Chain A
Amino acid sequence: MLEHMLPLPLLQFQSFLTWDSLKMNMDMEVSTSFHDFLYRMRHPASLDLVRSIKSFIVSFSFHQPKPENDGKRVQDFFVSMEAAIRDHSLWTTASEEDIDCAMQGLEKYIMTKLFSRTFSASAEDAKIDNEISSKICLLQTFLKPEHLDIPPILQNEALWLLAEKELLKINAFKAPHEKLLSIMNCCRIINNLLLNAAMSEYVPAGADGFLPVLIYVTIKANPPKLHSNLKFIKLYTRQAKLISEAEYYFTNLVSAKTFIVDLNAKSLSMDEIKYKESMQAAKLTNKVTSELSSACQMSQQEKDDSSCSKKMHNKLDDTGVLQHGSNYPYMEAKSKELTVGDVDMLLSDYKDLVAKYTILCKAIGCLSTAEREPLLRHLEMQGPETLLNFTAPSDHHRHK
């Protein structure tokens, strides 16, 4: 992995190690508590608990989904179940930690069962998620740490990358506490970065440094469904767990999200005209990408995955893909004619296209706005076929 090869100063490396082992412990705790929970639920004595859990989940389908009500119902159920577990014969000798583990397992079980109903359930949520994600896509093309006045000592690409990776996990989990954990892990990395910087510069760290770095990391990561994930955590994490340090970090991410949503030229240390130009240029680049994708009937989802969520510079390394197939035999194909045997070919063509679009976008990004706009307008007028011809055989942009 990249971060292992980078020559980190000893101090940072040490704290990175302790952080990593800490995280491993936490990951293990999460899984053991869940397995322990399932194990105990199989015990004949816990039949009454299993019944209440099942009837609660079934009762959910009787009502229309409504986030606030659903949140309250789930929280109330957690409270009543905690009381039931404390009184239960299986937990008579249990410590506070054991109870907590059981509750954690219960939370994971319930929320996994109710996930499709409770997560990003409304069209409104999906819309906000898309808006945030698109805006971040635009910002990614030009935003620099200097625009948020992040001092050089806090500009540590390796640790930022690590923090981004943790934050991206937010969408990989279903249990609220696991989603929260990925925020905590991301914030702890930034926390360590700040503490190390404070030690070497003899200045205190603090929120003045923390929040800008978190905002920048969030923009670089562009975590999928950010709004929905935050809302889900807020509504469905057991209230006793969203407190103190966890609540502080959670609030910081909510505040980073709000900052990004409201972000305009005045929010940044950047010339207002330059900001507008950069946003305009980013929109044009994205438009070309989306026209190209619609030309090849790529779904919106695929487009997002290829051009936004993943890092462009990572994709650029895949120039090898370009060596294969510069013609597209499936352009005229009908879906009925396709067989399973075509999947490999289609997949490799798809990868090939994605690599080309990425390079094209990058190449366009290198042009100044004045050069770019007439070119793009010209290409748009020629239609999608021309765009394909433009990118496919030419080596021009690869050498740029």
Chain B
Amino acid sequence: MARPGNKIIQAKLVLLGDMGTGKTSIALRFVKGHFFPNQEPTIGAAFFTQILSLSEATVKFDIWDTAGQERYHSLAPMYYRGAAAAIVVYDISSVDTFVRAKKWVQELQTHGNQKSVMALVANKSDLEPKREVEAEVGEQFAQENGMFYMETSAKTAENINELFYEIAKRLARALPPKPTGMNLNSDIQDRGRNYFCCSA
């Protein structure tokens, strides 16, 4: 629901995390949770689109899910290349998934898009009794790596909207407004480039 005069941001968002951490469930919660007239979200098995309207901008998310199995780890750069935002997910009830998440964060720091908005997400907060990774540990790691931290539950929907609103806000802040006098119908052309690409 683009408001007139509002800038439109096309943002590729990539989901990284071990198998079973709930990457896909997080995306599904967000994508299925909002319905705007005339703007059908794409709900595929591994690719999703959704639109968020803020007062300062309208963000059109292209959400790319990635395979979390270790054997596909080396393929990840193909997916996060050109991403405006990345969500690294782990499961609070499994310290192994946190170790994997740290690996991804470090990889993104060295090979990813330096300007991208990064979120460290501690999922399955509904499994508090089985918690293996303390919130402070995750939070501190996120801080050290210049990313924001959020505990979510895809199951109860806790913090899912907040997560995507926060990413959208940061994207809007990071991006200078588009040149004025732009033809709004040229949307199709704009979408051709990942928006950080300087050739755009």
Contacts and interface: CB of A to CB of B under 8 A. Distances in A.
Contact of A100 (B47, B62, B66, B188): B188
Nearest to B74: A262
B19 A240 contact: no
B34 interface: no
A268 B28 CA distance: 29
Interface string A239-260: 1111111001101101100110
Nearest to B63: A248
Given A96-B188, A243-B192, A251-B78, A207 B44 contact: no
A30 B160 CA distance: 40
Contacts of B191: 240, 243-244
A259 B72 contact: yes
Given A240-B188, A251-B78, A208 B45 contact: no
A195 B64 contact: no
B47 A206 contact: no
Interface residues of B, number: 32
Interface in A215-274: 239-245, 248-249, 251-252, 254-255, 258-259, 262, 266-268
Size category of the A interface is 35 or more
A343 B49 CA distance: 57
B67 A208 contact: yes
Contacts of B67: 207-208, 210-212
Nearest to A149: B69
Contacts of A198: 45
Interface string B40-72: 001011110100000000000010111111011
Contacts of B68: 207-208
Interface string B98-121: 000000000000000000000000
B192 A248 contact: no
Contacts of A379: none
A205 B25 CA distance: 9
Nearest to B193: A239
Interface in B134-174: none
A360 B189 CA distance: 55
A240 B190 CA distance: 8
Contacts of B71: 259, 266-268
A210 B15 CA distance: 14
**Could you tell me the dominant secondary structure of chain A's interface residues?**
helix
A209 interface: yes
A278 interface: no
B180 interface: no
B32 to A, nearest CB: 11
A149 B20 CA distance: 14
Highest count of chain B CB atoms <10 Å: which of A100, A208, A266, A268 = A208
A180 interface: no
B23 interface: yes
Contacts of A249: 47
Interface of B: 15, 19-20, 23-25, 28, 42, 44-47, 49, 62, 64-69, 71-72, 74-75, 78-79, 185, 188-189, 191-193
Q: Which 5 A-B pairs have the closest CB atoms?
A: A206-B24, A205-B45, A194-B45, A207-B65, A240-B192
29 contacts: A149-B69, A191-B44, A194-B46, A204-B24, A205-B24, A205-B46, A207-B24, A207-B66, A207-B68, A208-B20, A208-B68, A210-B46, A210-B67, A211-B72, A240-B192, A241-B192, A242-B192, A244-B62, A244-B191, A245-B42, A245-B62, A249-B47, A251-B64, A252-B46, A254-B78, A255-B78, A255-B79, A259-B72, A259-B75
Interface of A: 96, 100, 149, 190-191, 194-195, 198, 204-212, 239-245, 248-249, 251-252, 254-255, 258-259, 262, 266-268
Given A245-B62, A268-B71, 13 more contacts: A191-B46, A204-B25, A206-B24, A207-B67, A208-B19, A209-B46, A210-B67, A239-B192, A244-B49, A245-B44, A248-B64, A251-B78, A255-B72
